[in-house]
Each structure stands twice: as C-alpha cells, then as structure tokens.
C-alpha cells in the first residue's frame, strides 16, 4: 500500500479501511470497477479511523486551509478541517458557488470540466491540504492545486482515501494515499 | 428550537453573523444564504457542529443522512461525533449499486433523490441534515426515502431556516402527499402556493416532531458565555 511509504505500514486500521470500501463493477460504465466509499461511511469506527489517520499526519504542519473537492471530498474534508482547526474551502462544479469565483479547467476522458473556488477564501501564504475520496489520473487534484496556488496558497499535500495505480508519476510526490484499491480497466 | 438553549449562549449570534447573503443568486430577486463564509471561520463552524451534537448525542441516533451537496459538509462531522453512520442522499445516477428513488416537485419541474438499498435498517433512528430548509420539499423526499425502509426520522436539522416558506409546517403533516412538496429557491416567496394541510397536523408513527435549526435570520439568541466544545467527542 502507498500508505506504507508514509510510515503507516502494518497499521491494522488500514486493512479495516480497505475492507470497508465496496467495489461496484461496470459503474458508471462498462469496464470500470467503481470504488464506493459509502460503505466506509456506514461504519462509524472505520470512518473515524480514516479521519484520524489523516488528522494525525497534518495536525502539526501549520495547515490553515483544508479544501475538499465536490462532492465526495465534502464527506471527509470538513471533519479534518475541524479537527486541525483549519478553515474548510469547498471546491465546486461550475455555478454552484455564489459570489465571485475563480475557475480552473481540466481534461476528462471525453471533454473537459472545471472546478471553482471563492475569491477571498484563502490568503497568500496560507498552507493548504486538498482532500478527495479517490485519485485516479490526478487531473481533478491538479486543477484544485492550481486554484489554490493562483490565490497564493501553498498546497502542502493532497490526501485521498483511495489511490488508483494510474496516478501520474509527476503527481505521486504530492499524494498520501491510504489504500491501493487496484486498477480501473 | 434554538430558543431551547440556555440563556447566555452567544454562539448562535456569531454563527448567524458568519453567514453571508448574496443578492440575486441563482437568479434575480433571490437572496442566497451562503454558508461558505461560516466554513471559513473555524470557531463558527465548530460551534455549529457542537450545537447539533449537543442536541443529538445520547438520543440513540444511529443514522445521520445528509442531502447533496451542502448536507455532506455538516452531516459527517455530526455523525462522527455522535457515533452514527453517515448516509448520503444524492441526485440521480451518482450512487453506484442498488438504490431507491423518490421524486419531488420543484418550483418548475421535478427532481429525484436517491439512497442506497441496505444503507439503513428498519427501526433505526435517524436525523436528516441540510444547510438550509426553504419549502421543505427536499427534506420531505429524504424523509420518505428513509421511512420507506422503516427508519424513524426523529428530526430534520438545518443551519438556516427560511420560515416564511413554511417548510416546518410541511414536515409536521402526515401523511405527506408528494405532489404538494414544492422545492423553492431560498429567499423567494412562491406565488400562489398552498401549503399542504390535512385537517391540521397529524402525528403518527414516523411523524416528524419538529425541525430544529441552530440559527434563523428571523430569531437570534444573544448573550455571553462559552460552552466549550462537544468536539471532544471526536477524541481529537
């Protein structure tokens, strides 16, 4: 597991977390093995372990911003923010955030999408963490990183519950992944 | 009600003042209640969660359901603190695997809410969370999803209430006819809309006792004092 690279080797909580994630074949389309974290959220102890592990890593790193990627990042990031005393910043699909936003596009398998963040949510020099449930190619997290950096924040790390092997090599050094759930076809 | 809180709880006023209003979003005439500024204030966010945790801890609540997407921000911290599971209630085609669906009416048109089959068991006690209650249409749909599988919805918990839209009344009526659950846009009055009334409020198995909100633009508590943090329950 990738987490082993980060000093968590042998931590029994990791196995419980991995076991709590359910795989749904052929969702959202044929050939994709979807990593479903909702079953983890149904298990209070394991959900707490997941948050604890992330909090333990970041609590002394002077992080004042925890950004979460819509929508599954919203399920993890706020609890982490609360525990380390940081602000929570939602990174959203277009036209969901009211008021003034900045936008960053990213490439999908077919087409593009974009992420938005509120202007003024972060100040230059703030240290930030970005949270999502899963990292695949890293495209979404890369866009998220750019949003924060454009407003002068420093992205210390991105943390995801699940990391898929195809995560691009250039992005690896930025990621802490708690579980390696196998491949997407 | 937030008015049930002991005198001297100034958390409510601080929470209310951290919410920003954006005029004319998502369309002209709507005064949008933006909770993202609350989330940028760690103290206000913590106090918001604390208020809900103080109310629901020790009440045998095993399910916190949160409505996509802003309900996902408040629901999980509360679930973690009270020892409950978190169940996301989502827009169509987001949840993988087997789901049940509930249609509900919008101001113009309809939408659908989904929940996973097997997420909850009959007899469990649940609260449903969202950032805001307007007409109560979305919450109605969530209540129905849970009740269809035999869950007792103890209460709906929202940070903000728009009382002029009478969502509270809608949740207190049983049985609910889903065609009369309308979802409005925060801040607007819906022209010509008649709230569903069936001989006044009925109570019965699964009836919602009340909508509890920690703050409202209409009624604010003020006072002095600091109650500490229920986040100690996190074990952090």
Closest CA to B140 of B120, B166, B108: B166
Cα separation of A98 and B24, whole Å?
Answer: 9
pTM of the model: 0.82
Whether residue A3 is predicted with pLDDT greater than 80 in this model: the reply is no
What the block records as the tokens of B94 is: 């987001």
Contacts of A87 in chain B (CB under 8 A): 39-42, 45
B38-49, pLDDT tens digit by residue?
999 999 999 999
Contact between B39 and A88 under an 8 Å Cβ cutoff? The reply is yes
Cα A117 from chain centroid (whole Å): 15
User: What's the mean pLDDT when you consider all of chain A?
Assistant: 87
At B235, is the pLDDT very low, low, confident or very high (cuts 50, 70, 90)? very low
Dihedrals phi, psi of B137, to nearest 5 degrees: -60, -45
Contacts of B41 in chain A (CB under 8 A): 87
Name the residue of chain B whose CA is nearest to A117's CA.
B36
Please name the member of A22, A28, A85 whose beta carbon is closest to the beta carbon of B42.
A85
Residue B201 distance to chain A (closest CA, Å):
33
What the block records as the tokens of B228 is: 């500490």
Taking residues A162-184, what's their average pLDDT?
Answer: 51
What the block records as the tokens of A42 is: 């149904």
Taking residues B73-99, what's their average pLDDT?
Answer: 97
**Active-site residue B178, yes or no?**
no
Please name the member of B32, B97, B231 whose beta carbon is closest to the beta carbon of A98.
B32
Residue A169 distance to chain B (closest CA, Å):
29
pLDDT of residue B165: 76
B124-174, pLDDT tens digit by residue?
999 999 998 888 899 999 999 999 999 999 989 888 877 677 777 777 643
Q: Which residue has the higher pLDDT, B179 or A72?
A: A72
Please name the member of A24, A51, A95 whose beta carbon is closest to the beta carbon of B97.
A24
Taking residues B10-33, what's their average pLDDT?
Answer: 90
User: Measuring CA to CA, how many Å separate A43 from each of A55, B44, B67, B84, B170?
Assistant: 18, 28, 19, 8, 32
Q: Which residue has the higher pLDDT, B80 or B222?
A: B80
A98·B34 Cβ contact <8 A: yes
pLDDT of residue B178: 24
Taking residues A117-137, what's their average pLDDT?
Answer: 95
At A180, is the pLDDT very low, low, confident or very high (cuts 50, 70, 90)? very low
- DSSP 3-state of A116: strand
A67-103, pLDDT tens digit by residue?
999 999 999 999 999 999 999 999 999 999 999 999 9
Contact between B47 and B14 under an 8 Å Cβ cutoff? The reply is yes
B69·A70 Cβ contact <8 A: yes
What angle do helix axes B42-56 and A77-84 make, rounded to 10 degrees? 110
- A86-95, A102-111, B184-193: least confident range: B184-193
pLDDT of residue A70: 96
Burial tier of A103 (Cβ tally within 10 Å: 0-12, 13-18, 19+): middle
ipTM confidence score: 0.90
């Amino acid at each position: 597991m990738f987490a082993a690279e980060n000093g968590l080797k042998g931590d029994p909580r990791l196995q419980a977390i991995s076991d709590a994630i359910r795989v749904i074949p052929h969702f959202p389309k044929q050939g994709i093995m979807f990593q479903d974290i909702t079953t983890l959220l149904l298990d209070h102890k394991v959900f707490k372990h997941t948050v604890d592990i992330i909090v333990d890593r970041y609590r002394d790193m002077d992080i004042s911003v925890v950004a979460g990627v819509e929508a599954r990042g919203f399920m993890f990031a706020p609890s982490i923010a609360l525990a380390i005393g940081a602000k929570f910043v939602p990174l959203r699909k277009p036209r969901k955030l009211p008021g003034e936003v900045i936008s960053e596009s990213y490439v999908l398998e077919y087409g593009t999408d974009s992420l938005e963040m509120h202007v003024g949510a972060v100040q230059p020099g703030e240290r930030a963490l970005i949270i999502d449930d899963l990292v695949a190619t890293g495209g979404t997290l890369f866009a998220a990183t750019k949003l924060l950096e454009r407003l002068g924040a420093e992205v210390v790390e991105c943390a995801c519950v699940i990391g898929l092997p195809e995560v691009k090599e250039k992005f690896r050094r930025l990621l802490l992944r708690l579980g390696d759930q196998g491949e997407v076809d | 009600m937030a008015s049930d809180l002991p005198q001297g709880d100034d958390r409510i006023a601080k929470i209310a003042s951290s919410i920003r209003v954006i005029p004319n979003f998502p369309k002209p005439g709507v005064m949008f209640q933006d909770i993202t500024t609350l989330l940028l204030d760690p103290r206000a966010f913590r106090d918001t969660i604390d208020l809900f945790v103080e109310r629901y801890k020790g009440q045998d609540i095993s399910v916190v359901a949160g409505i996509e997407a802003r309900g996902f921000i408040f629901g999980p911290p509360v679930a973690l603190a009270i020892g409950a599971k978190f169940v996301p209630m989502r827009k169509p085609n987001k949840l993988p695997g087997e789901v049940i669906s509930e249609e509900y009416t919008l101001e113009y048109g309809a939408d659908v809410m989904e929940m996973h089959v097997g997420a909850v068991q009959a007899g469990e006690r649940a609260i449903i969370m969202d950032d805001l209650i307007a007409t109560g249409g979305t919450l109605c749909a969530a209540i129905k999803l849970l009740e269809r599988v035999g869950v007792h919805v103890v209460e709906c918990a929202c940070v903000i209430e728009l009382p002029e839209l009478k969502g509270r009344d809608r949740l207190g009526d049983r049985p609910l006819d889903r065609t009369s659950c309308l979802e409005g846009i925060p801040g607007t009055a819906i022209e010509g809309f008649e709230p569903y009334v069936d001989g006044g409020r009925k109570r019965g198995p699964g009836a919602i006792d009340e909508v509890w909100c920690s703050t409202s633009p209409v009624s604010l508590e003020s006072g002095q004092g600091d109650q500490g943090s229920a986040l100690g329950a996190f074990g952090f």
